[in-house]
Structure 1
Amino acid sequence: MKRRLEKIIEGKLISNSLWSNKIEQDCKNQNVFLAIRDNRIDLYHKGGKLFTYDSNGFKTHLKYASVISSNGKDYLTEAELSDYKLASDFESNYLRIKENCSNYSGIEASGVSEIYHKHSYLSDSNVVVLDVEISFESLKQENNQDRIDILLFNKESKTLQFVEAKHFSNNEIWSRTTPKVISQIKRYESQLSKRKNEILSEYIDYIKVINGIFNIALPEPEELDDNVTLLIFGFDNDQKKGRLKKLIFQNNEYTGLKNYSIGNIKKVVTGNLWNAKVL
């Protein structure tokens, strides 16, 4: 798990016209979320990875880039098709690529995006989303990697907190015995326990890069919450009083696990998510 970016890559990014003309302002407006990897930047939009950027420049998925250059017409005949060509550059087709990206996202990734598009580290919130889709090399042979959905950062307490997000329809949270998500959360918490110093060190570097790119002054993290919060969303009031209450709130297997449940993910307040209670 590395969170660094060589200065030469940072410099090339800042001087790139796609960045300066399109993406930079979208990040500041929280329409795009920028995350640092190992000498690579991942850019997220509406739950999808819009672009990556490394020493070779910008890249996007083929399904996002498959955009026909338009002459103002929304419909064309088969005979007209041969007169059209695929878009040949990212910048002039940026809006269409973003549109395609948003159309391919899964329900949980889209849900997470509702949080980072309102509460990114560029927002005025005290508790901000610092990173998403955080991958660790697995501590167990049967899993190649562990991936946690959200990393929150409390700027006042300078503390990091990981969150795993599950939609109400996800069968990993449902069982009359032990739901699969329980072992998942325990595995993640084992990662945090064993790698606490490494995680703090990497995110100190991460924040230095973020501060440099956006000319801001986020404080460096000093603490890491040992517990992973389980965020459950996407249910109505009847489901909350029924299945959610019976199979989660009243399920002894969830005892001791931090949980925050909310029907409408768009209404998440990061301060409340941060203060999630133990079941």
Structure 2
Amino acid sequence: MDAPIKPFTRHISEKQMELLKATAARPDGAWLREALADPDLLFALRDGRVDVYFRGQVIYSIEFGTDKIATYTHVKYLLLDGTAPYIKMQDGTFAYKHAHLHDVYRDGVSLGQIKSAAKVYAGAESQGIYKAIKRDPSIIDVEIAFTRSNDIVEHSSQEKQRTQDRVDMVRLTPAGDGYDLVFWEAKDYSYKDVFNDKIFNQLTAYAKQLEIKATVLNEAYRNVCQFHLDLHRLRESLGFAGAAASQIEMLDNVARGRCPLRIVKKPSLFVFGFDNDQKNGRWKVRKQEIEAVIGGERLRAVGNPTDWLGSAGKGREEA
């Protein structure tokens, strides 16, 4: 018998948010205050949990207890020398030249070291997505994982072994009398599946997930908007820069249900990382092939991912 499909949820309670605020106010909450102040980091709401991303890596996973929070960091991000993680063994002894792992969080020091260690694990795709989201506050979630259903058969036999479909990012955009929630799959030009039909199978599978989960996604992402609004207020209370007025208005309107929130059920594709020669050569042909299948309005292609906002979602291409 198949295991029950876990529902898609984005939520923390008011009490859990209060615990987060209380932690940021405590003397030992410097790690959280510095994370909130850092524009390189993205706080992502999960089901009763908050993940903090840097360049596609979860450097903090925040879980909530009855009266306090517990924060987890992978040991690989705690290496004090992230550029040289291997330790020499000499005469049966590991030759540590200095303390190798963080022990106590040090204000103004530790977060920078954690980020340096995390950079080692960020591939081309993660780097490109990071450059896009850093410039775009309307991207409100990343690494959106959907439990796979047997009803979705677009994947190869090897891919069917995976238990999740994972969309790279979701963007909230004004549309008519409300807002659209657009899901984006991001690919570096070097990714081989950009040039075969697997990319179309992937997008079709994601579309079926969005169709099946449209109702729960609507509720989940209204919660996400409230979460980001609460983070904005927390940052301001700590003396940090918050969101722009237009962003606050958008988050507030969606969170309070003042306007329609439409789930765009066909995901879009963001391709980046090609140079001028590739743009006018191999990519020119492939771009036309992709547009013939999904339409130009669902393709965003730029050489430099920092140009993501140039005309997002309109098929405009820049090197």
Give the TM-score taking structure 2 as reference length: 0.73
The structure-2 alpha-carbon separation of the partners of 1:22 and 1:174, relative to structure 1 and needing over 3 Å to count, comes to same
Tell me how far apart the structure 1 counterparts of residues 219 and 100 of structure 2 sit (CA, whole Å): 47
Offset at residue 108 of structure 1 (A): 0.6
Rounded to whole Å, the distance in 2 between the matches of 1:45 and 1:234 is: 19
- 2:299 touches 2:313 (CA, 8 Å); kept in 1? no
Indicate if the aligned counterparts of 2:185 and 2:267 stay in contact, CA closer than 8 A. yes
- 2:34 counterpart letter in structure 1: K
Instruction: Establish whether residue 148 from structure 1 lines up as the match of residue 167 from structure 2.
Output: yes
> In structure 1, the residue corresponding to 2:312 is in which secondary structure?
helix
- Describe the superposition over 1:111-166 as per-residue Cα deviations: whole angstroms up to 9, x where unpaired: 1011111212xxxxxxx101000001112372411000010001464210010001
1:83–1:46 CA distance, 2 compared to 1 (3 A): closer
- Secondary structure of 1:268's counterpart equals helix
Match of 1:88 in 2: 103
Q: Which residue of 2 aligns with 1:172?
A: 193
CA distance in 2, matches of 1:162, 1:150: 6
Alignment partner, residue 134 of structure 2: 117
Cα gap change, 1:162/1:276 in structure 2, threshold over 3 Å: closer, same or farther? farther
Question: In the aligned structure 2, how far is the partner of 1:255 from the partner of 1:228?
Answer: 9
Q: For 2:121 and 2:106, how far apart are their aligned partners in 1?
A: 20
Paired residues of 1:159 and 1:222 also in contact (CA < 8 A) = yes
Cα distance, 1:4–1:19 mapped onto 2, change above 3 Å = farther
Q: Secondary structure at the match of 2:281?
A: helix
Candidates 168, 175, 200, aligned match of 2:218: 200
Partner residue in 1 for 2:145: 135
Aligned match of 1:191: 209
Partners of 2:95 and 2:123 in 1: CA distance: 34
| Aligned residue in 2 for 1:103 | 120
Inter-partner Cα distance in structure 1 for 2:215 and 2:62: 27
- Percent of residue pairs identical: 24
Q: Secondary structure at the match of 2:135?
A: coil
Distance 1:131 1:200 in 2: 13
Task: Give the RMSD, CA atoms, in angstroms.
Answer: 2.5
Contact 1:115/1:266 (8 A) holds in 2: yes
